[in-house]
Amino acid sequence: MTFKHIVLIIATLSILLGMSAGCCADIVIENAFCRGGQVFLHWSDPDTQYVGYNIYRSSSPIDSSSLAFAELVESNSPLHSAKDAAATSAATRQNKQDPNRGYRIFDLAEPLNPADCLKVMTVTQSASRYYAVTGVNPDGYEDCEITIGQNSLAAPISEESGPAVPALDEQGVQTISGYDYPWKTYTWFKRADETAFDGEATKVTVTLPKPNLSGLYSTVLNLHAINGCNRIATWWNIIIVSPMDCSPKLPYGGNTWWYGYANGYPNAGSGIVFNYTENMLLNMLQWAKSAFPIDPDRVSVAGGSMGATGALSFGLRHPDLFAAISATVPQVNPGLEGIGWSQSQLTHIWGSVQDNLPTNDGAGVWDRQNTTAYVADNCCDLPFIKVQNSKNDETLPWFQVPQFYKNLNANRHGFMAAWGQGGHVSSSTGLPSEFVNWDIYNKHRRNQSYPAISNSSVNDDPGNGDPINGDSIGQMNAGYDWRIISDTEDKWAADIKYTVAGRSPTADVSARRLQNFSFAAGQRLAYSLTDTATGQAITSGYVTAERNRFFTVADLPFDNNYRTLTIRKVSGQSIADVIALPEGSEVDVDEVIVTATFEDVCYGCASNRIPAIAILGASDLAPGNVIRLRGVKKTHCGVAAVDISAGSISVHGNCALRPFGLTRPFFGVGKPLELGLLTKVWGVVRDILPGGFELDAGLRVTVFGDCAADAEIGSYVSVSGICSELPSGSDYGIRMSDPTGVIYYQGSPNP
């Protein structure tokens, strides 16, 4: 070998060694910070020779000599990881060109160079840490050259856990019919409980109902269908939060059906299926509430197809968050045999139906996603559900649906359902207007109770799952409207009507999401249904609570006018019980019908008209009032009485009075059948008395009171009034309080 050859070899080795020693120096950490419980590490490496990078961290500065003692956070991190993969996925799903740009890691900042690298890591504990990045050569050799201040941090990152803070990526204004809807799109870097690939990014768009917001707004978490993406979604006076379900490392477009996937992916045949995406939605919703004027009691979750499936699965398990759920053509039991393509795809991220891998909450994943079984097994108060399907849906077939509807109805959950022949995409076509026009987003509140309708007599039949069985187009529980009147410790009341003209259905009613009305299983409750406009009683009775804070009143009649349903806790004490009590005892009678009012006393009776009772110290009562009576036992003119001066009266409604018709209201001479009774007698006036008259009703009956002065001897009359002591206290008669209580018949001087 000549000297010339030796020199050439030495020169070549020097160049190669220089390249090897200098490459790590080309790695420059451009940004390193902690925000929202995540560490962001961004580095550039122009013209790199590496195939990947190793990331290290330590509590002290990392140099070449201390690298071996630092913690390896990630090995072989990919090149060009600063490219916005979420934007690429969104473009692909919309058949648009790849924007090929880097992430924004600060609000509306210049995007990173897509050739750069970015690693986002979830903070596991509070600490101050240094980071370093090294390169991995094609032969697997790691270049361990460290230059502090370039590929190793000279100052530590102060790491703190905290709620997520996404980066504002884009913003603008959408104008619809002259109205401006501002929108903001954020890059959401997923945390360790939201993905198996820490730091993986997606997008979320928030659309506002107007430029200048004041107060709090109803909000919808809008979940897209398969291969959809975050979108600008305008809605009058409602905030829309629209995330993207996207995990690019997963198959079939990276959809998780808004749930999650096996934690060992790509091995989906074993391990645990984690609800990563549900956790992401929980964190997104928490962030959105802190960033926008969202009314936490008026948040709903909605979606179509895969989005509807997620809305039900996620929303039903979070009644603490959602007021209502709107689901358009959902899949309610993906594990059913014959369900088709969706099950085939899901086995790649959930494992087989037969294996039924456990989820992180313990249930098998296919069982966990069986919403039909969930609503059958779960009796708690759920968000109100509005759900629609199509009998000719070839994408998510109809045969899975009817049992879901039937389980909702049987377990008396609050819901309305409709189905038709519109197919998967146009499922609203032909559906009843009373269903389509129901404003689920503004009607329901998480902090307000609602009546759950079941077994409505005008429900249509969804059939047995065969598309030709049952009604081809129909609804269940649609058409009812209501307003909550009372929800107190002792009473719940709502005005309810049926809105479809010309129909008068019957239905069972249960109150869901009670706020204050509280009672125990087995407790007796009184109910009454009255005409809201007139107060006229329609029906009443008693029910027994099936479980704590849950009752059902069956077979109530409704029409196109509001009717007030009132439910009250009852003491169980009756007027008969009061009569037997010693004076001075506490009285609490559930239901008393006021029969007459005088200046000194009022009278009432039980719903079957006997026995009667006097009421002392009352005012503002009217005949026909149905009251709850609390006070102290007294006696008034021989009648058992209740003094309410230290008690209370609550009026529940009104009913028509029914006097007890008797030809002889007294047995023997002056002996009353029932003092305090509202009775009706008839006969001929035989004598005129001061302040009244004497009636021949087989026996002589004295009628007295201000309304009894117009009779003339020989008049044939009927009289409705109270069996009472005469003012002298020496005998008994009929006390009048209302001039309509005396009716004159043919031949009378006052017809």
Per residue in 171-207, pLDDT (tens digit) is 999 999 999 999 999 999 999 999 999 999 999 999 9
Q: What is the pLDDT of residue 665?
A: 62
Between the alpha carbon of residue 607 and those of residues 528, 657, 704, the distances in Å are 12, 10, 26
Q: What is the pLDDT of residue 663?
A: 64
Q: What is the pLDDT of residue 730?
A: 72
Other Cβ atoms within 10 Å of 156 Cβ, number: 17
Q: What is the pLDDT of residue 537?
A: 81
Other Cβ atoms within 10 Å of 149 Cβ, number: 11
What is the mean pLDDT of the segment spanning 28-57?
97
What is the mean pLDDT of the segment spanning 618-632?
87
Q: Between 600 and 646, name the one with better pLDDT.
A: 600
What mean pLDDT is reported for the chain?
91
Per residue in 312-331, pLDDT (tens digit) is 999 999 999 999 999 999 99
CATH of 575-654, one of 2.40.50.200, 2.70.98.10, 3.90.1410.10, 3.40.190.10: 2.40.50.200
pLDDT band at 220 (very low <50, low <70, confident <90, very high): very high
Residue 296's identity, in one-letter code, is P
When computed from its CA atoms, the radius of gyration of the chain, rounded to whole angstroms, is: 39
Rounded to whole angstroms, the Cα distance separating 191 from 199 reads 6
Q: What are the beta bridge partners of residue 364?
A: 358
Q: Which of 558, 555, 554, 586 is nearest to 573 (CA)?
A: 586
Between the alpha carbon of residue 336 and those of residues 272, 285, 452, the distances in Å are 21, 31, 29
User: What contacts 313, CB < 8 A, 6 or more positions away?
Assistant: 258, 259, 368, 369, 371
CB crowding 55-87: b at 16 or more within 10 Å, else e: bbbbeebbeeebbeebeebbeebebebbbbbbb
pLDDT above 80 for 433: yes
Q: 3-class DSSP state for residue 602?
A: strand
Q: What is the pLDDT of residue 113?
A: 97
pLDDT above 60 for 10: no
What is the mean pLDDT of the segment spanning 533-559?
93
What is the mean pLDDT of the segment spanning 546-553?
96
pLDDT band at 6 (very low <50, low <70, confident <90, very high): very low
Q: What is the pLDDT of residue 21?
A: 41
Q: What is the pLDDT of residue 565?
A: 96
Rounded to whole angstroms, the Cα distance separating 195 from 263 reads 9
pLDDT above 90 for 509: yes
Per residue in 86-98, pLDDT (tens digit) is 999 999 999 999 9
Q: What is the pLDDT of residue 726?
A: 84
Q: What is the pLDDT of residue 717?
A: 84
What is the mean pLDDT of the segment spanning 366-372?
98
CB crowding 218-236: b at 16 or more within 10 Å, else e: bbbbbbbbbbbbbbbbbbe
Q: What is the pLDDT of residue 15?
A: 37
- Max distance between CA atoms of the chain, in angstroms, equals 158
pLDDT band at 119 (very low <50, low <70, confident <90, very high): very high
Q: What is the pLDDT of residue 707?
A: 65
User: What contacts 506, CB < 8 A, 6 or more positions away?
Assistant: 456, 457, 555, 556, 557, 558
State which fold the 660-744 domain adopts.
OB fold (Dihydrolipoamide Acetyltransferase, E2P) (2.40.50)
Q: What is the percent of the chain with per-residue pLDDT over 90, rounded to a whole number?
A: 73
- Please state the separation of Cα 68 from the chain's center in Å: 54
Q: What is the pLDDT of residue 25?
A: 54
Q: Which of 267, 298, 507, 496 is nearest to 384 (CA)?
A: 298
Domain 173-452 has CATH 3.40.50.1820: yes
pLDDT above 60 for 500: yes
pLDDT above 70 for 751: no
CATH of 3-80+115-159, one of 2.60.120.10, 2.60.40.10, 3.30.390.10, 3.40.190.10: 2.60.40.10
State which fold the 483-569 domain adopts.
Immunoglobulin-like (2.60.40)
What residue ranges in 22-153 does DSSP mark as E strands?
28-35, 38-44, 52-58, 71-77, 117-122, 127-136, 142-143
Contact 640/633 with Cβ under 8 angstroms? yes
Q: What is the pLDDT of residue 497?
A: 98
pLDDT above 80 for 4: no
pLDDT above 60 for 18: no
Q: What is the pLDDT of residue 749?
A: 47
pLDDT above 90 for 24: no
Instruction: Judge whether 3-80+115-159 and 483-569 match in fold.
Output: yes
* Domain limits, the chain: 3-80+115-159, 173-452, 483-569, 575-654, 660-744
Q: Which of 545, 523, 342, 532 is nearest to 424 (CA)?
A: 342
Residue 626's identity, in one-letter code, is V
